[in-house]
């Protein structure tokens, strides 16, 4: 298993295991979001994946792939644990703008990291979101992707918002991985899941974001947005996301 984490750190551009401190947490989160894409290629291909730490690590650390929240944050949780951080899973419910309500419990998997300075919300699996840990229970950060606020909203619940629009609400109780299995299965199988609507692949860059939505390649750089049609989706996945044979998603 040590070799898996060595490969994981190498993918993030690190040759040595960092110390489990705030500076390293910031760097690991930023590097992860700029390297490992948020993507649903397996779901679009109809390749159902198991929910396990081993499967998530294999996908991210060994196969050079990305994933969605359950996979990305579970792999990152294992990496943080390996580095020496105290980290736990939490469940969250994603804001559904059309319905004007939050989704079901365990709709999203996020992380809480405990440091001597306090506890921090850490999330590398939401796509376009904050790139640095946010201190619990209340914090504000601003980066190239927007302004973010974390605050309590009612007893036991906190909400993460972006530019005054809710992203998700959460509870802070530690959750076992198996508690997410039902919603993980829903998002892989249900035609009502946003992940079944079409290909999504996106990652942060130092000055913006690169996204592939269906066959639309969208690049945001220093606030300037360009959109082009991708004539060869596989080539775009390779060039911009390091994913080879993306149309043949699945194990191996």
Q: Which residues are catalytic?
A: 69, 108, 123
What is the Cα–Cα distance from 159 to 151, expressed in whole angstroms?
6
Burial of 148 per CB tally in 10 Å (0-12, 13-18, 19+) = buried
Contact of 183 with 51, CB cutoff 8 Å: no
Handedness of CA 243, 249, 251, 252 (dihedral sign): negative
3-state percent breakdown (helix, strand, coil) of the chain, nearest 5: 35, 30, 35
Helices and strands of the chain, counted as H and E runs = 7, 14
What is the Cα–Cα distance from 32 to 35, expressed in whole angstroms?
5
Nearest Cα residue to 66 out of 31, 42, 98, 87? 42
β-bridge pairing 139-143 and 146-154: antiparallel
What is the Cα–Cα distance from 36 to 61, expressed in whole angstroms?
10
Contact of 148 with 162, CB cutoff 8 Å: yes
């Amino acid at each position: 298993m040590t070799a898996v984490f060595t490969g994981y750190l190498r993918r993030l551009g690190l040759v040595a295991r960092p110390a489990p401190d705030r500076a390293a947490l910031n760097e690991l989160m930023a590097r992860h979001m700029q390297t490992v894409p948020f993507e649903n290629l397996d779901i679009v291909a109809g390749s159902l994946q198991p929910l396990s730490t081993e499967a998530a690590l294999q996908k991210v650390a060994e196969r050079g792939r990305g994933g969605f929240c359950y996979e990305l944050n579970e792999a990152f949780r294992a990496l943080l644990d390996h580095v020496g951080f105290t980290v736990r899973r939490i469940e969250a419910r994603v804001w559904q703008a059309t319905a004007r309500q939050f989704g079901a419990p365990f709709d999203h998997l996020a992380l809480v990291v405990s440091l001597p300075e306090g506890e921090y919300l850490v999330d590398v699996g939401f796509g376009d979101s904050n790139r640095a840990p946010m201190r619990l229970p209340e914090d504000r950060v601003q980066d190239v992707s927007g302004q973010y606020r974390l605050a309590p909203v009612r007893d036991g619940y906190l909400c993460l918002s972006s530019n005054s629009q809710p992203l998700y609400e959460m509870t802070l109780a530690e959750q076992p991985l198996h508690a997410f299995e039902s919603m993980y299965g829903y998002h892989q199988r249900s035609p009502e899941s946003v992940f079944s609507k079409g290909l999504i692949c996106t990652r942060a860059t130092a000055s913006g974001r690169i996204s592939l939505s269906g066959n639309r390649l969208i690049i945001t750089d220093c606030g300037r947005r360009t959109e082009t049609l991708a004539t060869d989706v596989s080539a775009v996945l390779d060039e911009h996301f390091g994913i080879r044979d993306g149309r043949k998603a699945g194990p191996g």
